[in-house]
Amino acid sequence: MQTIRVYVLLALLAGMLTGVETAAAQTVRGKLYQEGPDGVRRPAAFVNVVLKTNDLKPASYPVATGVDGMYYFRNIMPGTYILEIQRGGTKPLLRYSIQVLPKKVTNIKPIVLPASGPAPHVP
Amino acid sequence: MEVKDASYLIFLIVLLPIIPAFILFKFLPESSKAEATGPYQKLKIKLGGAFAGYFILTLLLSGLLSRYFLVVPESDYEFWTVEGHVDLDAIELKPEMFIIKPPRAVSDGNTFFIRSVPIDRTQPEVPPVITLQFPDAIPLHIWLKEESEHKQTYTVRRDEKRRTFVVSVDSLSIVESIIEGDYPEDDGVEAVPLPLGVEVVAPDSLEDSGTSS
C-alpha cells in the first residue's frame, strides 16, 4: 500500500515537472481588424478592449490595441469571460463571450469590427 | 437674431459713436491748437484738431478695452514632458529595439524623453497613456498618473516644477511578458458575439477570482 502511495506521489511530481498545465493565471491575446469602406480589413489600432466577468464586473484593467491591432490581458484565470470593445470612453460597442483555457497563452480568433466601428482613440 | 435685438445693434453701431464725435468736434475744432505729432508704428504722425483728439482717444480706449474684452481663453490642455527610464542593460536589449507611442523625441541609452504630451486639465481622471513595445513582449501601457495599480511594473512621479512625468520601468516585468510563438490567426478560441444591454447569466461567475492584468 505504501509503495502505491509513493508511486502516486512520484507520478504527481513528474507531472508537475513535465509541465502539466494547471489552473494558473494566463495571458489572453487577440487581434482586432477594422473593415474599411472599401471592404479591406486593416488592424484596428488604439481601440479600447475590456475583459469582464460574466456579471459584467471588470476582470482586468482596460487595454488598448497596438498599431498591429493586437490586445493582451495578463494574469487571467481560466474560465468564461466577456470581451467588450468600447467606443471612445466606456461605451460598449461589441460584446463577445470568450473561454480562457488552462494554457500559458489563450489565443482569441481575430474579431472584425464593422466599417462604422469605434473611432481610433489616441492615448 | 430677432428684429428687436437688431435694432439695439444698429443703435450701438451708428448712434453711439456720434456722442464722442460731437464732443470732439465741439471742443476741438480745426482752428484749435490741439495737435498730435510723433512716430507711431514706424509712421510719422502729424494730426490736428478734432481728428487728433479722436486718434488719441482711440489709442487710449483700444488699450483699455482690449484688456477687459479681448481676454484669451485659457486652454484646457497643458503640455508636459515624459522622462522614462528602462534598465535595458539588465535585460540585454538595445534602446533601438523598443518603440514608444507616441514616438519618442529623444533617447539617451536607457532614458527616453517625450516632449509636449497634452494633459487635459478638465479630465484629471483620464490620464494619458504611453506604450512601450519590446520585441515579442506584451506592449506595456503606462498610465501617466502617480497612483497606479501597476507599481510592480512601473512607477510614475509628477514633477510639478519641471512639468515632467518621471517614469521608471521594471525591466524584469518586460522579460516576464515575453510570449514565445506568433499569434496564430486561424487557430484559437472563437469569440461568440453577445447582444448589448443583456446581462449574461453566469453559471461559473469569476467574481473574487483575483484576476488582474
Segment B135-161 mean pLDDT: 82
Cβ-proximal residues to A90 (8 Å cutoff; 6+ apart), any chain:
A48
Segment A60-71 mean pLDDT: 83
What are the pLDDT digits (tens) for A1-60?
A: 565 565 555 554 554 444 444 456 688 999 999 988 888 899 998 888 999 999 888 898
* Closest Cα in chain A, distance from residue B187 (Å): 7
Q: What is the pLDDT of residue B211?
A: 40
Q: Which of A46-55, B10-19, B110-119 has the lowest mean pLDDT?
A: B10-19
**In A, which residues are within 8 Å of B114 by CB distance?**
none
Segment B127-155 mean pLDDT: 79
Cβ-proximal residues to B178 (8 Å cutoff; 6+ apart), any chain:
B134, B136, B137, B138
- CA separation for the pair A79, B204 (Å, rounded): 8
Nearest to A100 by CA among A64, A47, A43, A59: A59
Segment B95-117 mean pLDDT: 68
Whether residue B145 lies within 8 A of chain A, CB to CB, comes out as no
Q: How does strand A26-35 pair with strand A111-113?
A: parallel
Q: What is the pLDDT of residue B200?
A: 46
Q: What is the pLDDT of residue A90?
A: 64
Whether residue B72 lies within 8 A of chain A, CB to CB, comes out as no
Q: What is the pLDDT of residue B92?
A: 62
Amino acid at A32: L
Percentage with pLDDT > 90 across chain B: 8
Segment A81-98 mean pLDDT: 84
- Determine whether the interchain pair A61/B201 forms a contact, defined as Cβ–Cβ distance below 8 Å: no
Give helix B18-27 / helix B49-69 axis angle, nearest 10°: 140
- Return the residue in A95, A103, A105, A121 with the most chain B beta carbons within 10 A, the one to mutate for interface testing: A95
Percentages (nearest 5) of helix, strand, coil residues in chain A: 15, 45, 45
Residue B138 predicted with pLDDT over 90: no
Whether residue B185 lies within 8 A of chain A, CB to CB, comes out as yes
What are the pLDDT digits (tens) for B78-93?
A: 888 888 888 776 666 5
- Determine whether the interchain pair A110/B139 forms a contact, defined as Cβ–Cβ distance below 8 Å: no
Which among A64, A76, A82 is the nearest to B200, CB-wise?
A: A82
Q: Which of A101-115, B18-32, B129-143 has the lowest mean pLDDT?
A: B18-32
Percentage with pLDDT > 70 across chain A: 70
- Determine whether the interchain pair B206/A59 forms a contact, defined as Cβ–Cβ distance below 8 Å: yes
Q: How confident is the model at residue B201 (pLDDT cuts 50, 70, 90)?
A: very low
- CA separation for the pair A32, A20 (Å, rounded): 31
What are the pLDDT digits (tens) for B36-78?
A: 777 776 777 777 777 777 777 777 877 777 766 666 667 788 8
Q: Would the pTM of this model clear 0.95, i.e. be above it?
A: no
Question: Cell numbers of B67, please?
Answer: 484688456
Nearest to B169 by CA among B80, B103, B82, B102: B82
Place of cell 460731437: B22
Give the DSSP letter string of B43-111. EEEEEEHHHHHHHHHHHHHHHHHHHHH-PPPPPSEEEEEEEEEE-GGGGT--GGG-EEESPPSEEETTE
